[in-house]
Every structure is written in C-alpha cells, then in structure tokens.
Structure 1
Amino acid sequence: MKIQEKHLLFISIPAYGHAIPLLELARKISKFHQVTFAVSAKMAGDLPKRELFDAKADNRIKLYPIPDGIVDDMEDPNDCALFERIMPMMVGGIMEFVEKIPTSSAPSLVSEVKELTRPVDGIVTDNFVGFAAESCSQRNIPLYIFNSSPAAFTWMILSAHSALKTMPMADADGFLEMPDKEGNFTKPIPHEFLHYNVLPMQKVLPSARAVIVNSVHELENEVIKRCQNKPGMKDVPFFCIGPVLLAPKEGSNTNAMVEQKVSKWLDEKDRGSVVYISFGTVVVLTPAQMGEIVKAIRQLGRPVIWSLKVRNQPELPEDLKTATNLDDPSSKLLVLSWAPQKKILSHQNVGVFVSHCGWNSTLEGLAGGKPIVGWPQFAEQLMNAEFVAEIGAGEVIHDAGSKNARVVPATEIVNVINRVQRKMSDGARAFQKKLYALMQPEGSSQEFEELVAYIGRS
C-alpha cells in the first residue's frame, strides 16, 4: 500500500490501560507513517523497564517524555487525592506541550520541543485528553480520537451536557454510566470527569478528522449511527480497526522467559482445567477480598493462574508464597506479577477467565474463546462485563467494584466460575469464531488500511 507518509503525534495520559492500546495502535500505524509517542516523563521511563517499549524493536516510534513533574503511578482508582494532585500536572504538561510543537499548518514556528525536528501533521489521542483536544482545535492541528473502548464511550460523550447532575469523584461508585438510546442518564456523573474530559471532548469531536474504535464495525453499527446523528457529527468518519491486541514480544528478555515457563506449566495441565484470574494493571485488592479468593482457589481444587500485583503478594498465606516459583510445572497454583495474558488465554488448557473486564482484557478473552466471569471494578468495565453476558459468553459479579464495600465470598466465586465454564463455553467459542470472521480482510483489517490511506490524504 503506497501512501503519503505523515508525522503523527500520539499523546497518552499516564495510565497503562490507556497507554498500552494507544501504543499498540502506534506500532501498527508506524509501518506507514512516522510516529512520535508522547507521555508523562515518568511513564516514558517506565515503559522500557516494564518491557512495553523497546527502542530497537520499536525503531519506527520515537518516545517523547512530557516534563509534567508527575512522580506517582496512576494505579489506584480509590485514591481520589492522588488523581486530584496529578490531574493539574497532567493537564498543564500536555497542554503546554501541544502549544509548543511545530505543525505542518505553522511550519515557520520555531519549535521549543527540540526532539520534534519534523512538523506534526496530526495528533492521535484518546477520549481522556479532552482538555488537550481543545488546544489542538485552536491550533488547527488535525485530530484523530482513539476509542480504546467500544463506540458507546463516544456516545456517552456526545450525550452529556452541562446541566447533568454531578457529584464529587470521591462520592461516585467508580463506574461510568452509558446513557440509553435516547442519550438519557439516570445517575450523576463525576464533576471532575464531566468538566475536564467529557465536555471539552464533546466540543471538538465534530471537528475531529476521524474517530478510531478498538472494535469491529459489525458490533458497533447501531451506536455509530446514533453518534453520527448528533449535531456536527454527520461527516466525521468512524474506523473500527480492532481488536487492537497486544502483540507478543520476541527475544530473550525477562518477559519472554516468563512466557516460556508459563507455557510449559500450562502444557502439563488437562484440557480446559485451568482458571485464569486477573484484575489488570490497576486494581489493588483488599486483604479481605484476597482472603476469599485464596479460599476459592483451595475449594476449586483445580489449576489456577493468578496475575497478582507485587504489592499484594506478601499478603498470600505462607504455603502459597511458593506459587510464585515458575520452575515447578507440576504445581497447581501459579502466581505471576506479570502474565503473558494473550498466550494464556489462547491455550487450550485454560477453561475460564476471571476478569475485571477492561476492554483490552475483554477482547483478549473473547479472542481466545474463553468464557468470562466479569468482575468489574471501575470506569466502563461494568458496561464491558454486561456486553459479555449479553452475547452469552459469561456472567457478571455485581456490586463488588473497587469502591464497593462488598467482599465476594469464596462460595460465590467458586459457584460462578464453575457455572460459567459449564454453561457459557459454547457461547464464548461461537463468539470467538464470529470475531475472527469479522477480522478478515473484508472487515477490520480493511478498515485499518482505509484509515492509513485516509491519514495520508488528510
């Protein structure tokens, strides 16, 4: 595919649930366009350490650290004080950066960002950088909005208005409500989220060059039509180029060695016998909930892989702390601080996936054909978990998110795991086949090629 190469600037907030899919999209687009990936300086330093970015392998991408002064990880959704402290730094850092970059529409501007030697032809960012999107619009920089979640998130943005009832973020239940087909909300929306993100993004969406959705068009048709019926949205194209799944890394790095040992461990188990538990990169479990999950693992009596944050691992009972040993393929429990999730979910010996239902994890579970126990924690995860239930590929554990006091008992965990695998496995495999059919050349891959060409023409 021969196209005119452009220079695209990708901007991410410093949260891994946003940075990882945006970086994966950047990798795909970098085969056709020059890419600079900008994120908070701390995360820019951490990405290589976590083996999420390799300057040699990712040689088509230039990583740019935004000097915003942030020193903390945005990894605890319950820490409202942290978000309130980080938000002004993040907003200020990104907006100052956008105001300084040279662009193709202002090539005579002397860039104060020395690393950007070529003017920027367009910016790609996600829905959570609404404040920066306004700066792009004011500077006439072509803007492409990436929906790392389904198109319903854009529908939520377009349906919001300043008269909505709001509440302090500290008082919210942590879940974002998706409005109904008429755009009606039933509960208050966090004040900070509405005014920092939603309304600024709503203002610029009609002037966006395109909305890029991490999904397949056949699943999003109805919602996209609703979005394009909103004022100013008729001529904004939507490109469904998903699922954008994290590509496996090659080489002899630490993650590759972990992946090899996990594969060996899985190979020793019976078909469909393994339960995989993961709450993603952000969720920190309470000691009480950890205790019930431990009880459930004992009661299940079957092999389990548990992706568990390092800070939670000291809370494991003494007899289970050896489960972090990767060199014993005969063990029944494997506890990982980093899990090769795509490899695990594609393995035939994994029978069920217990997930927080972040959209990345949801897509990987469905692509692997695994029935999902949805245990949503915050943000749009409840919507994703309910989608899994609607398509007959899983069930939802309700009222047990990061900001909910309910501790899910071991008996409930065991019962739902066994029930979901028994009743939802056929539905999960059926959706897997449908998903891969939709990803064939006439589906999402074709829309990705159309997007690449569209960027070249814009």
Structure 2
Amino acid sequence: MAQGNGSRGPHILMVMLGAPGHSSPFIQLIYHLRHHKNVTVTVISGGPSLVHLSKLHERGDFYDVDLRIESVFGPPPLYPQDPKFPARAATASAQWQIEFEGVKKRLIQEKGSARAPTAIISDLFVWWTKDTADELGIPWYTVSTTASWMTLSGFVSPLLRTRDLHPVLSGQKYEKLDMPGLFGYVYDLPAETLEWPEFYANITHHSLRATGLLFNSSLELEGAAGSVQTVIELVEQRKKSDPGKPLENTKVFPIGPMAQIPGYGELVKLGEQEEALKWLDTQEKGSVLYIAFGSLGNVVMEVVPQLALGFEESGVPFLWVLKVPPGKTVEDILPEGFQARVQGRGFIETGWAPQSSVLLHPATGGFLSHAGWNSTLESLCAGVPMLTWPLSADQPMNARFVTDFHKVGLPVGEGPSEDYSTTVTKAGISKAVKRLMVSEEGKEIRKNSLRVKELLHQTVSEGGSTYVALRNFISELLTV
C-alpha cells in the first residue's frame, strides 16, 4: 500500500479518541478516502477503537489507502465523582497532550519531508494539535464528535456563566433556554462546559480558528434547533473581528449523519455476537425493545433491579446489554428469579452487542438509550424510536432533541435526568415501555421516526446538503 511513483500525495494525520462514539466518524472518513488514489492516512489514538481499526485494516476494508496506525494514548484517567460516566474530556485531554509530545517533536523534525503530513484532522477535545499544524504550516480540521449543541455550549459558556445558567446549580434550572442554537431547559445544558472553563476556552479559541470545523450533523436534521447554523455565524463574526492567518479562513462542514447504517456509512460487521441476532430472528416484527447505555456510560447499579422489574411488568420482549461490575455476576445484580421468569421473552447480553445490526433488525421496535450522539444518530438513521435515559455531557440535550423537537421518542422519567436514579420506578419503566411499544401514541412516534429517516436519506443523497459538504471537504483535504 505504498504511495505510487514516489510522488508526494496527500498524507492525512488523524488524532482520534479511543471511545467508539468519538472514533466512529474518523473510521467512516477513512472509508470515504479509500475511493481516492495515492492517499496516506496515519491514525494516532489508543484503546479499543484502535484495536477495532487495526482489525478492519487487516481484513482489507480500506483498499488502497496507505493506512498507518500508532498507539500513543493510554486509557483516560478515571473520574470517580461520577459513577454513571467515569471519564471527563478535560482530564483525559491533558494526559493525552503529554503523551503526544514525542509525536509532535518527530513531526516537526520531519517537516517538509516526504513523510510529513499535509493536513491534520483531530477530535475537538484534543485542541492542542492545532499548535502542531501551525508549526508545520498545514491545514487543521477539527471534528465535533459530540452533538453540535455541546460544542456550541462550550463556545458560549462564558455567557452561560454570566447569566447563571448552570444545569444543576442555577436557580433558573427549570426555565426554558432562550439562546440561539440551544433548546430545551437550563437543566438540559451539558454541565461539563461550565465546570471546566479553561479547557473549553482553549477549545473555543482554537476551533474558531480551524481551517475547517466538521460536524456529524446536517442543517436539515437540526432544522430550527440551528446549532450548526449558530456556529457558522460565530465563525463569521470571528473572521470579521480577527481575520487570522490564511489557514484560519474557517469553513464549517456539516457532513453527518455519519453512522454504521447503510446509506450513512459502512456497516462494519466484525466479530458480531450471533446469539443476540439469532434470538431476534425468533421475535415478531417491531416487537423488541433494545436496551444499551453506550460504551462508557451506565446507570448506577442500584437502579438495575427497578429496570429489570419494569421490563418484566411491561410484557414487552427485550434485548438488554447489561454491564456487570467486576467481581459481580448477572445473578448478583438482577432480582431473584428474574431470568427464569422472562426466559424466551428477554435476552441479556453481558458482553458486546452489534448495535447497528440490532437497530436494523426487523424485530427491533424501540431503543432505550443514554442518548449518546452516536447512538442517537444510528437510531434516527434506522428509523427506530427511542426511550431516553441520558447520563452526562450532551446526552440530556440530545434526549430533548429526540423527544420534544423531532418527537421520535419519549423520556423514561420527568424533569432533570440527573434525578432519574431516585425518581424512576418499576411502574414508571413499565409505563414508558408500553407507551412507546404498544400504545397509539407509540404508533405516531414510529411514524415520526420514519419521517426523520426519510429526511436524513435526502441529506446524504446526491444533491443533498451532506452529500455536497462531504465532497467539498474531501476535495479540499486532498488538494496538496
């Protein structure tokens, strides 16, 4: 897979995070680049996503891309203050910046050589890679791998603090938001953007001066929510007040949805858990509720018995990806006799489940999710309605987007999701599941889900906004 004729073709350096939700857009970009000749891609990351990427590369998924993979980043430091979501971008980024120093020195030494990168694409959270791009004199693109409203809330967090709009501490937490590009209630805002001011100030300063800002979203998907549109306006304001350098003539590229759903990205089938899919084959069309809380997050263990009893009481078939804490067994955390009582109607997966394949399966009729952006996009692209139990970061606002904006889902509980662990009961779970899966209201929500799926299909089809933005971005990226 060497570059042809010894010529200097495009060499893209990608700096991605190891969590699946953050790495998925990067992997999909590599799939798009495989249709172009003489392209080199170096991926710097760490963790399970790098292992996954290596396996895809080994089986030849990326064709003629000269793909080079470097494991640089260690696991993120734990954030024990939050057992539901035990990682924070700010602390992880600080550690990875130190680990990247050796790579940075090497890149600067190789500046101008045939080995040097011609552009850098990085996760928004590793904002410090822009300094390397500046020293090399090459374009720097940053990817917002969370929802655009989280990125926007980071950009405007000084204003949020000035107005005392903290989702937990503010006396206005139950008020509706009235800021461009942000929606829902004050308690839906991502607290992290207010609690780590220096980190988000650095993200804002560097991102608004990127060569390009990439969003895993589309203008049509966001509609009147308008977060990407608001970012575009902020970028234009910055360029008027501070034109910056030639490579800081920032463009915004809404290139999403990028998801492991046919039509929106490559459906990666690698080491699939066949037992879960075989069990789905035995269930009626649209009858099964799929339950998963993402790769990093999880509900607190005290809630698991209430969830289990609620699923049992609902009478709805379910496929549950259940994370079992170290030193515990499934029997330790589930109610006594539960598995025997739901045998045949419920399938419990304690390992990994092929989420995209599950969502695309005809038997799947709903998705109880933490509303992470990657999971939300996959559900929207598959036309599967959602029950939302957000845990952290952009998830409360993602859930609001699902339930109130597009009306393609229902919340599991009422009020701030931070209260769900103490307010959601067995009866509440059962009621929410039945509302989504078997009620007339659920039928309307399912119709809305199919409407949004069609809307998204139009954005990625020839002439759609995502189709155009993605091709414009790749054309710019590969121009050396």
Q: Which bin holds the TM-score, normalised by the shorter protein?
A: 0.7 to 0.9
Instruction: Give 1:13's aligned residue.
Output: 17
Deviation readout 1:178-213 (Å, 9 max, x if unpaired): 9821889968765663212x2112212233111111
Give the TM-score of the pair, scaled to structure 1: 0.80
Listed as ranges, the matches of 1:196-215 within 5 Å are 196=199, 198-215=200-217
CA distance in 1, matches of 2:107, 2:296: 31
Out of 220-229 and 439-448, give the one that drifted further: 220-229
How many residue pairs end up in the alignment? 426
Q: Are 1:166 and 1:190, in contact at CA under 8 Å, matched by a contact in 2?
A: no
Instruction: Give 1:299's aligned residue.
Output: 313
Q: 1:433 aligns with which of 438, 454, 460?
A: 454
CA distance in 2, matches of 1:100, 1:30: 26
Paired letter, 1:395? L
Out of 144-153 and 47-56, give the one that drifted further: 47-56
1:376 shift after superposition: 0.6
Secondary structure of 2:116's counterpart equals: coil
Q: Are 1:355 and 1:372, in contact at CA under 8 Å, matched by a contact in 2?
A: yes
1:82 shift after superposition: 6.8
Instruction: Give 2:348's aligned residue.
Output: 335
For the structure 1 residues 191 and 360, does the alpha-carbon distance in structure 2 shift closer, same or farther, using more than 3 Å as the test?
Answer: closer
Q: 2:334 aligns with which of 294, 316, 322?
A: 316
| 2:304 aligned with 1:290 | yes
Out of 275-284 and 241-250, give the one that drifted further: 241-250
Q: 2:470 aligns with which of 441, 448, 452?
A: 448
Deviation readout 1:71-98 (Å, 9 max, x if unpaired): 5676978169975875542221135433
Instruction: Give 1:393's aligned residue.
Output: 408
Deviation readout 1:237-282 (Å, 9 max, x if unpaired): 22222111133334xx6x23x2x43333212111221111111111
Out of 291-300 and 262-271, give the one that drifted further: 262-271
Q: Are 1:148 and 1:214, in contact at CA under 8 Å, matched by a contact in 2?
A: yes
Q: 2:436 aligns with which of 389, 396, 420?
A: 420
Paired letter, 2:268? K
1:53 shift after superposition: 4.6
For the structure 1 residues 350 and 54, does the alpha-carbon distance in structure 2 shift closer, same or farther, using more than 3 Å as the test?
Answer: same
Paired letter, 1:428? S
For the structure 1 residues 135 and 346, does the alpha-carbon distance in structure 2 shift closer, same or farther, using more than 3 Å as the test?
Answer: same
Paired letter, 2:300? T
Paired letter, 2:112? P
Deviation readout 1:393-412 (Å, 9 max, x if unpaired): 01223457568752521111
Instruction: Give 1:354's aligned residue.
Output: 368
CA distance in 2, matches of 1:54, 1:395: 39
For the structure 1 residues 280 and 368, does the alpha-carbon distance in structure 2 shift closer, same or farther, using more than 3 Å as the test?
Answer: same
1:134 shift after superposition: 4.0
Secondary structure of 1:232's counterpart equals: helix
Instruction: Give 1:249's aligned residue.
Output: 268
Deviation readout 1:389-430 (Å, 9 max, x if unpaired): 111101223457568752521111111122133321111122
Paired letter, 1:15? A
Identical amino acids, percent of aligned pairs: 21
Instruction: Give 2:58's aligned residue.
Output: 55
Instruction: Give 1:194's aligned residue.
Output: 197
CA distance in 1, matches of 2:322, 2:35: 34
Instruction: Give 2:112's aligned residue.
Output: 107
Paired letter, 1:210? G
Aligned CA-pair RMSD: 3.7
Paired letter, 1:271? K
For the structure 1 residues 134 and 403, does the alpha-carbon distance in structure 2 shift closer, same or farther, using more than 3 Å as the test?
Answer: farther
Unaligned runs of 5+ in 2: 1-7, 241-248, 261-265
Paired letter, 1:434? L
Instruction: Give 1:381's aligned residue.
Output: 395
Q: Are 2:311 and 2:429, in contact at CA under 8 Å, matched by a contact in 1?
A: no
Deviation readout 1:87-145 (Å, 9 max, x if unpaired): 542221135433431488x315xxxxxxxx72111111122112333443455331111
Instruction: Give 2:244's aligned residue.
Output: none
For the structure 1 residues 191 and 249, does the alpha-carbon distance in structure 2 shift closer, same or farther, using more than 3 Å as the test?
Answer: closer
Out of 94-103 and 55-64, give the one that drifted further: 94-103
1:454 shift after superposition: 1.3
CA distance in 2, matches of 1:50, 1:36: 12
For the structure 1 residues 349 and 86, does the alpha-carbon distance in structure 2 shift closer, same or farther, using more than 3 Å as the test?
Answer: closer
Q: Are 2:408 and 2:448, in contact at CA under 8 Å, matched by a contact in 1?
A: yes
